[in-house]
Structure 1
Amino acid sequence: MDGTVLIADDDRTIRTVLTQALTRAGCRVHATGSLSQLSKWVEEGRGDLVITDVMMPDGNGIDQIPAIRQSRPDLPVIVISAQNTIVTAIRATEAAAFDYLPKPFDLPDLMARARQALSRRPRKSDLVPETPVPRDSADPAMPLIGHAPAMQALFRMVARVLNADLPVLIAGEPGTGKSIIARSFHDLSDRSERGLVVLTSADAGEDVFARVADKARGGTVIIENPAGFDQAAQARLIGLVEALEADADRMHLPRIVSTAGPDPQADMAAGRLRSDLYYRLAGVTVSVPPLRARVDDILPLAEHLLARAASQGLPERGLVEEAAAVLRAYAFPGNVRELENLMRRLALTASGPEISANEMRDALNQQSGARPVSNAASMVVSGGGGPASVANARLSDAVEVHLRRYFDLHGDELPPPGLYDRILHEIERPLLEVALDATGGNQLKCADLLGINRNTLRKKLTELNIEVTRRRKLM
């Protein structure tokens, strides 16, 4: 890999790691914690690639991209950000960034993208980008945030097709936020100032369908769960789509966005969804992962929801470590909507500013009506608790309680594939955290205690995003 890379990030560790990796790969590197210094280098003509963070002490990295491309249209920019939201992904795409990666990123992945950026020249059509529409802190009814790979893939897909003239079908379980994502295709797109019509099975009359084209002229039509419409209503939907597509005035053609269950093709095979309607709606299919498939997003979502509840007049609350562990161990069959209801209830009912583990268990037991959450299981997951709570239960017993509850929550259905890796991932984090605490943050001692190579330990700390503290320094 050959070229000069400009790095802008206020995290000294990230600057050091990237500088070392890119230098070993054969690049020349200039690194700074300031956007103003980055701008100076760009204006001086330095650099063949920019890697920039978003939130910097002196500005926003994405906001700098139009100026960079104005003065240096052949200079690719890779955005890295800890703000793992759909708005960040869309803004990076609108600003014509070469690529976008969430933090913590996989170093080999970033290196591969840097290699692509250095070896590829932009198309002429890329050289004069439009000024992106500002996307500030959008706060939808359910937050579209997440670092999990499945959510990042979703964000990338939405950003890529946000302004395309293709119908979109959003598939997922109830409560995952499908309606919010459908709404984002309107609110965050260049159609946001035009009409929006939402159709449900309750709006199945012919007179309603007849007025849709005028109401959504040049805007968006959202069809909520077309498989829930009766056959006659589905036939009218087909007629509506055909009528819209036949309109000679293509500039005023509304975009169609639909929501569906987790497997719309199964709905089609079972006769619940007409095949001729499905193929008209599924120009692009976007799958929304269930919350249990992105466990690491649960706590950031919970904290966001508690903060939003406080902004709406409810008491300010936080989570003690043990309560957070109980929350992570729960499978959330109701997905983000269930989590939102839980956080609002706890914001109202908690006895103090910090929600305790017992309050969390009680709320989850009331909410699920299933087998009570085990004290032993939650203590094992968190790596916390007093000696008495842990001494009364073997690790295998606690894990078995957790697993049986997890299976019970799925009723007669089996959990999603990949259970083995998910369970190992759940155990690995507390194991590393407790071992680090026991060794005072000394990684060499911790690796020896665990019986693994120190480089393996460092890699796992990075992969699991275990925070660096004074007692736990990542060298």
Structure 2
Amino acid sequence: MDGTVLIADDDRTIRTVLTQALTRAGCRVHATGSLAQLLKWVEEGRGDLVITDVMMPDGNGIDRIPAIREARPDLPVIVISAQNTIVTAIRATEAEAFEYLPKPFDLPDLMSKANQALSRRPRKSDPIPEPLPAPREAADPAMPLIGHAPSMQALFRMVARVLNADLPVIIAGEAGVGKTTIARSFHELSDRCDRGLAVLTSSDATEEAIARAADKARGGTIIIENPAGFDTGAQARLIGLIETMEAGPDRAHAPRIVATTGSDPQADVAAGRLRSDLYYRLAGVTVSVPPLRARVDDILPLAAHLLARAAAQGLPERMLSDDAAAMLRAHPFPGNVRELENMMRRLALTASGPAISTAEMREALSQQSGHRTPAAAPVSALTPAPEPAGVVSLPQVGSRLSDSVEAHLQRYFDLHGDALPPPGLYDRILREVERPLLQVALDATGGNQLRCADLLGINRNTLRKKLTELNIEVTRRRKLM
């Protein structure tokens, strides 16, 4: 790897790690904690690549990209950010950043992107691009689109790539994952945002309703909710609408079609619920939204965001106690983000103090699940049913760990009677074992991560990533290296 890299990040640790990695790879590096210094270097003609954080003490890194491009149109910019929202991904894409990577990032991935950026430096004869407009701001969506999980980051990138295309979109996912919010993002964050938005549902899909929607959304966006729920006549009218938009005299102002579905559209076609010719007209791009149980590490950041938003709307300020947070993280959330949002608003209103207690969280989870009593609400997949005096029995000396785990699991299954536990049990169990394993190993090695990684037989970068993912608290004795 060859070239000069300019790094702007107010986190000294990140500056040090990137400087060392890039220097070892053969690059020259200038690092700063100031956007002003970064822009000074750019204007002086230094650097072949910029790596910048978003939230800096003296400004926003994405907001500075137009100035960087104006001064040096051929200078690629990689954006790194802990602001893991769809808006950040879209704003980085709109500003024509070379790449956007969420924190904590995978160092080999960032090094690969840096190598690609340096390898694709344009020739002197390449045309100078037009200046970019200022990156678009967006209102806080009704349901938060926040996520560091790889599945959500992939979703954000997909939305950013096709945001201003004319292709129709199908957004698929379980109830409560935020399909309608994402559908609205396709309108509100796109170039169509100053034109009309219309929503069509199966309860109002008459010829007149479809005509009104087309007129209202001229040049804008039509959201079709659950097209498989439309009767055959309504589906035929939708096909007629799309054909008119594609070939009619006003096709230059045709609205974009974004459909949402809680089922597999191909299965709907096979079952006869959705006309195949309608499906193929809708499925220009398919975006799958993961359920909340598949991105457990996003639960606590989402909960904190929802509590902060509730406080901004006039409800009391609340935070989660450590035990309440652990209980929340172990909940399977069949209702996904909507369930979490309702729970946080209710707890913000009803909690007795600033910190939501274990008892309050247990009661909230019991109300959400409906069939469980507060005492039986499992804190985790490996927690046995409470003993009368609140004492958890320990394995006898000489017993194997596998025997103890098997006993705990059997009691956990017994709690559900004839029903099965919620899906995702395998991952939940692995997480429950992984956290105490890392904590005990860190304690045994005095917080020395190099020794701890060697003890566990894993790479130190893998250990650091897992400590961040599992929110293992950093103390003087257990300090991130």
**Is this a same-fold pair by TM over 0.5?**
yes
Indicate how the Cα distance of structure 1 residues 401 and 242 shifts in structure 2: closer, same or farther if over 3 A, else same: farther
Contact 1:91 1:132 in 2 (8 A): no
Contact 2:382 2:412 in 1 (8 A): no
Deviates more, 1:176-185 or 1:229-238: 229-238
Partner residue in 2 for 1:134: 136
Partner residue in 1 for 2:362: 361
Indicate how the Cα distance of structure 1 residues 381 and 460 shifts in structure 2: closer, same or farther if over 3 A, else same: farther
Paired residues for 1:259-298 under 5 Å: 259-298=260-299
Contact 2:76 2:98 in 1 (8 A): yes
Per-residue CA distance 1:83-102 (angstroms, 9 max, x = gap): 00000000000000000000
1:249 Cα shift?
A: 3.2
Partner residue in 2 for 1:428: 434
1:304 Cα shift?
A: 0.7
**What SS class does the counterpart of residue 29 from structure 1 fall into?**
strand
Paired residues for 1:101-120 under 5 Å: 101-120=101-120
Aligned CA RMSD, in angstroms, stands at 2.7
Matched AA of 2:120: R
Give me the whole-angstrom Cα distance separating, in 2, the residues matched to 1:276 and 1:398: 52
1:438 Cα shift?
A: 6.5
Please state if 1:34 is matched with 2:37. Answer: no
Matched AA of 1:12: R
Indicate how the Cα distance of structure 1 residues 314 and 402 shifts in structure 2: closer, same or farther if over 3 A, else same: farther
Partner residue in 1 for 2:423: 415
**What SS class does the counterpart of residue 378 from structure 1 fall into?**
coil
Per-residue CA distance 1:445-471 (angstroms, 9 max, x = gap): 6457xx324x63552222441454433
**What SS class does the counterpart of residue 69 from structure 1 fall into?**
helix
Aligned residues: 463
Give me the whole-angstrom Cα distance separating, in 2, the residues matched to 1:220 and 1:231: 23
Contact 2:330 2:381 in 1 (8 A): no
Please state if 1:83 is matched with 2:83. Answer: yes
Give me the whole-angstrom Cα distance separating, in 2, the residues matched to 1:373 and 1:259: 36
Displacement over 6 Å in runs of 4+: 373-376, 379-382, 403-411
TM-score by length of 2: 0.89
Matched AA of 2:22: L
Indicate how the Cα distance of structure 1 residues 375 and 35 shifts in structure 2: closer, same or farther if over 3 A, else same: farther
Contact 2:168 2:281 in 1 (8 A): yes
1:380 Cα shift?
A: 8.4
Q: In percent, how many aligned pairs have the same letter?
A: 74
From 447, 452, 459, the equivalent of 2:456 is 452
**What SS class does the counterpart of residue 202 from structure 1 fall into?**
coil
1:313 Cα shift?
A: 1.6
Contact 2:382 2:408 in 1 (8 A): no
1:211 Cα shift?
A: 2.1
In structure 1, stretches of 5+ residues that fail to align are none
Contact 1:142 1:180 in 2 (8 A): yes
Contact 1:256 1:281 in 2 (8 A): yes
Partner residue in 1 for 2:234: 233
Partner residue in 1 for 2:177: 176
TM-score by length of 1: 0.90
Matched AA of 2:244: A
Indicate how the Cα distance of structure 1 residues 96 and 402 shifts in structure 2: closer, same or farther if over 3 A, else same: farther
Contact 1:329 1:402 in 2 (8 A): no
Contact 1:80 1:102 in 2 (8 A): yes
Give me the whole-angstrom Cα distance separating, in 1, the residues matched to 2:355 and 2:203: 43
1:410 Cα shift?
A: 6.9
Give me the whole-angstrom Cα distance separating, in 2, the residues matched to 1:381 and 1:307: 31
1:118 Cα shift?
A: 0.5
Give me the whole-angstrom Cα distance separating, in 2, the residues matched to 1:469 and 1:364: 31
Paired residues for 1:78-227 under 5 Å: 78-121=78-121, 127-136=129-138, 138-227=139-228
Paired residues for 1:395-414 under 5 Å: 396=405, 397-398=407-408
**What SS class does the counterpart of residue 201 from structure 1 fall into?**
coil
**What SS class does the counterpart of residue 75 from structure 2 fall into?**
coil
Contact 2:168 2:282 in 1 (8 A): yes
Per-residue CA distance 1:51-104 (angstroms, 9 max, x = gap): 000000111100111111111111100000000000000000000000000000
Contact 1:69 1:128 in 2 (8 A): no
Give me the whole-angstrom Cα distance separating, in 2, the residues matched to 1:379 and 1:213: 49
1:363 Cα shift?
A: 1.1
Matched AA of 2:30: H
Partner residue in 1 for 2:398: none
Matched AA of 2:438: L
